[in-house]
Amino acid sequence: MKIDVTINGRERSFDVPPNTLLLNLLRERLDLTGSKYGCGIGECGACTLLLDGEPVLGCMTLAVDCDGRTVETIEGLGDGDGLHPIQEAYLEEGAVQCGFCTPGFIMTTKALLEEEPNPSEAEIREYLKGNVCRCTGYVNIVAAVQSAAGKMR
Amino acid sequence: MNPINKHNTHIVMPFEYHQPATVRAAVEILRKHPGAKPLAGGTDLVPKMKQRLLEPKHVVNLKKIPELSVVEDRGDAVYIGAAVRLREIEKSETIRRRLPLLSSCVRSIGSVQIRNMGTLGGNVCNASPAADGALGLVALEATVHIAGPGGERQVEAKSFFEGPGLTVLGEDELVTGFTVPVPTEDTGTCFISVGRTALDISTISIAVALTMDGDRVKDAKVVLGSVAPTPIRLADAEKQLKGKTLTEKLVEDTAMKVSESIKPITDIRGTAEYRREASRGMAVEAITKAWREGRTQR
Ligand SMILES: Cc1cc2nc3c(=O)[nH]c(=O)nc-3n(C[C@H](O)[C@H](O)[C@H](O)COP(=O)(O)OP(=O)(O)OC[C@H]3O[C@@H](n4cnc5c(N)ncnc54)[C@H](O)[C@@H]3O)c2cc1C
Ligand code: FES
Ligand code: FES
């Protein structure tokens, strides 16, 4: 099936079988391997990306369902040279260890800060509930979100 | 391709994809292709397809059907289309103000990502005994609107479910939406759920709606999730409350009745004993909160 999707600002056309998942299209056809495959069934958030600006799970989204829509992944955040303030904040606060969960966390954080530029710790923890990190213990991640919020205000 | 798909990385089996623009067209596709599956948010369906528990040859996306995506305040009721996403329900000022019980049921589902994808229709049609949205609709005595080849029909939410994963829906039928009566001003409501982890589905959940005249209970609804094959209303507990003046003692007694009248099972999320014990504490809290809210809203 033919689909047109805007990915990180670039309009693209594909011909995909309906059983293709958005995450596989990104990782296998476009080599956009920032979004990660963790569980594949909605429980870890490592595949989180923004679809029409909202955080969804690439591992459970059919590519054909994205026809005419806009996808944003971690690769779309920086400008090529500099990092996005959220990426900077995650590095500065030690919120990245192995880094496997980081792209998912950062995309969810971006959506959160667009909705609520000044979230409380409780709001941050609630919004990031669908993202799992096996390394950091979340304290540094919460600090990174708060620091990013400061940078972006 | 790996036929076992152990790591859930792909949907192994191919299928034909349909994207109808009207309910009529969707029903026609379902009728023509027995075994076809409607797809809303896919948060229940897609994992099942990846795990090869379900392998439909036809998938019918419902999200391109405008009439399934409306939320409408109709005065004494709110109409919610089946394909309205959970996050839209959560954000809807109308639903927050007029159906706070449903609003809190929906807010407790999964994560932001799951709620951006999942729909109320999917939550109900999946018919999990743990479905939080379904629990709210049963407690609020919602009507389920169904469309099929023969036309439309309506079913009360509490009669819609027949068991885990089982509903009254025919293979060629669709849920189009829900009419949810707005509780009267003197009604207080409360929803509580307990899960193992932040993201897990509920181990046990309860929704209570009390219509109060001062401290006297005019009407009561007590509904539990994850303690039976479907969400269930506890008629015995409701009867114990109706017409009585609420006291702490009556709350305790009713909570005891709740825990006695359920027949929970032991599964990976909790033991029957745990559920029985938890239901009592949760009932005390839910009835007390609904009582306070019903009293102060007068
Ligand atoms: C990580 C995770 C956490 C979750 N947590 C919770 C939770 O806390 N509480 C909870 O209740 N649920 C939870 N769920 C389950 C799920 O997200 C919800 O039930 C959601 O509302 C399903 O909606 P959907 O639109 O994604 O359904 P889909 O997956 O699209 O559909 C579900 C089923 O219903 C059928 N269907 C869908 N719409 C219709 C319709 N209009 N007419 C007829 N049939 C239809 C489909 O064919 C399918 O069989 C969770 C799921 C995941 C993956
Ligand atoms: S890989 Fe998508 S949620 Fe885990
Ligand atoms: S940094 Fe390793 S999983 Fe989060």
B9-44 residue pLDDT tens: 999 999 999 999 999 999 999 999 999 999 999 999
- The answer to whether the CB of B65 is under 6 A from ligand 1 is no
Q: How far apart are CA B13 and CA B49, in angstroms?
A: 8
Kindly report the CATH number assigned to the domain that includes residue A49. 3.10.20.30
Within this chain, do residues A10 and A67 fall inside the same structural domain, yes or no? yes
| Residue B237 CB-density burial (10 A; 0-12 exposed, 13-18 middle, 19+ buried) | buried
Given A54, A76, A98, the domain boundary residue is A76
Within this chain, do residues A37 and A95 fall inside the same structural domain, yes or no? no
Within this chain, do residues B252 and B287 fall inside the same structural domain, yes or no? yes
Within this chain, do residues B209 and B259 fall inside the same structural domain, yes or no? yes
Within this chain, do residues B36 and B129 fall inside the same structural domain, yes or no? no
Within this chain, do residues B44 and B136 fall inside the same structural domain, yes or no? no
Residue B66 within any structural domain of the chain: no
Q: For A137-150, what is the mean pLDDT?
A: 97
Q: Which residues have a Cβ under 8 Å from the Cβ of B64 and sit 6 or more positions away?
A: B19, B20, B21
Sheet holding B58-61, edge to edge: B16-18, B58-61, B37-39
pLDDT confidence tier of residue B133, bands split at 50, 70 and 90: very high
Within this chain, do residues A129 and A89 fall inside the same structural domain, yes or no? yes
- Taking the centre of ligand 1 as the mean of its atom positions, its distance from the CA of residue B87, in whole angstroms, is 13
Residue B10 within any structural domain of the chain: no
Q: Relative to the CA of B133, which ligand 1 atom is closest?
A: 11
Ligand 2: which of A59, A73, A105 to mutate, most ligand atoms within 8 Å of CB?
A: A59
The helix/strand/coil state of B85 is strand
Does the distance separating the beta carbons of B10 and A61 come in below 8 Å?
Answer: no
Mutate to test the interface with A, among B8, B112, B123, B197 (most CBs of A within 10 A): B112
Position B3 scores a pLDDT of 56
Q: At what angle do helices A102-115 and A139-152 cross, to 10 degrees?
A: 50
Q: Relative to the CA of B68, which ligand 1 atom is closest?
A: 41
A21: β partners: A62
Pairing of strands A54-57, A70-72: unpaired
- Taking the centre of ligand 2 as the mean of its atom positions, its distance from the CA of residue B297, in whole angstroms, is 43
Given A76, A98, A123, the domain boundary residue is A76
Closest C-alpha among A53, A72, A54, A31 to residue A130: A54
- In contact, B223 and B231? CB cutoff 8 Å: yes
Q: Relative to the CA of B176, which ligand 1 atom is closest?
A: 41
Query: Residue of the nearest CA to atom 3 in ligand 1?
Result: B110
H or E stretch including A6? strand A2-7
Within this chain, do residues B38 and B80 fall inside the same structural domain, yes or no? no
Within this chain, do residues B194 and B292 fall inside the same structural domain, yes or no? yes
A127 Cβ under 8 Å from any chain B Cβ: yes
pLDDT tens column, B155-182? 999 999 999 999 999 999 999 999 999 9
The rounded Cα B224 to chain-centroid distance in angstroms is 11
Kindly report the CATH number assigned to the domain that includes residue B36. 3.30.43.10
Does the distance separating the beta carbons of A64 and B7 come in below 8 Å?
Answer: no
Does the distance separating the beta carbons of B117 and A18 come in below 8 Å?
Answer: no
Within this chain, do residues A15 and A58 fall inside the same structural domain, yes or no? yes
- In contact, A105 and A84? CB cutoff 8 Å: no
Within this chain, do residues A60 and A123 fall inside the same structural domain, yes or no? no
Q: Taking 80 as the threshold, does the pLDDT of residue B85 lie above it?
A: yes
What percentage of chain B exceeds 90 in pLDDT? Answer: 88
Q: At what angle do helices A102-115 and A85-92 cross, to 10 degrees?
A: 120
Phi, psi for residue A83 in degrees, rounded to 5? -90, 160
Which residue range(s) make up the domain with A116? 85-152
Q: How far apart are CA A36 and CA A24, in angstroms?
A: 10
Q: How far apart are CA A153 and CA B237, in angstroms?
A: 52
Within this chain, do residues A92 and A69 fall inside the same structural domain, yes or no? no
Q: Tell me the torsion sign for CA atoms B70, B84, B67, A58.
A: positive
Given A76, A99, A128, the domain boundary residue is A76
A55 Cβ under 8 Å from any chain B Cβ: yes
- Taking the centre of ligand 3 as the mean of its atom positions, its distance from the CA of residue B115, in whole angstroms, is 24
B144: β partners: B155, B178
pLDDT confidence tier of residue A150, bands split at 50, 70 and 90: very high
Give ipTM to 2 decimals: 0.97
Residues B251-272 as b/e (b if ≥16 CB within 10 A, e otherwise) read beebbbbbbebbebeeeebbee
Within this chain, do residues B169 and B80 fall inside the same structural domain, yes or no? yes
Q: Which amino acid is at B272?
A: A
Within this chain, do residues A89 and A72 fall inside the same structural domain, yes or no? no
Within this chain, do residues A72 and A6 fall inside the same structural domain, yes or no? yes
Does the distance separating the beta carbons of B47 and A42 come in below 8 Å?
Answer: yes
- Taking the centre of ligand 2 as the mean of its atom positions, its distance from the CA of residue A92, in whole angstroms, is 26
A48 Cβ under 8 Å from any chain B Cβ: yes
Residue B8 within any structural domain of the chain: no
Nearest ligand atom owner, CA of A140: 3
Q: How many domains does chain A have?
A: 2
The C-alpha of B51 sits at a distance from chain A's nearest C-alpha, in angstroms, of 9
CB within 6 Å of ligand 3 — which residues?
Answer: A 96-101, 133-136
Position B2 scores a pLDDT of 47
Q: How far apart are CA A43 and CA B120, in angstroms?
A: 19
Q: How many domains does chain B have?
A: 3
pLDDT tens column, A102-134? 999 999 999 999 999 999 999 999 999 999 999
Kindly report the CATH number assigned to the domain that includes residue A111. 1.10.150.120
Does the distance separating the beta carbons of A65 and B15 come in below 8 Å?
Answer: no
Q: Taking 90 as the threshold, does the pLDDT of residue A5 lie above it?
A: yes
- The answer to whether the CB of A117 is under 6 A from ligand 2 is no
Kindly report the CATH number assigned to the domain that includes residue B283. 3.30.390.50
Within this chain, do residues A62 and A124 fall inside the same structural domain, yes or no? no
Residue B103 within any structural domain of the chain: yes
The rounded Cα B81 to chain-centroid distance in angstroms is 14
Given B165, B181, B197, the domain boundary residue is B181
For residue A62, count other CB atoms closer than 10 A to its CB: 25
Which residue range(s) make up the domain with B124? 71-181
Position B4 scores a pLDDT of 64
Within this chain, do residues A56 and A98 fall inside the same structural domain, yes or no? no
pLDDT tens column, A16-65? 999 999 999 999 999 999 999 999 999 999 999 999 999 999 999 999 99
Within this chain, do residues A91 and A49 fall inside the same structural domain, yes or no? no
The C-alpha of A11 sits at a distance from chain B's nearest C-alpha, in angstroms, of 21
- In contact, B61 and B16? CB cutoff 8 Å: no
Closest C-alpha among A128, A44, A51 to residue B8: A44
A17 Cβ under 8 Å from any chain B Cβ: yes
DSSP tag of B61: E
pLDDT confidence tier of residue B203, bands split at 50, 70 and 90: confident
Within this chain, do residues A9 and A42 fall inside the same structural domain, yes or no? yes
Does the distance separating the beta carbons of A60 and B14 come in below 8 Å?
Answer: no
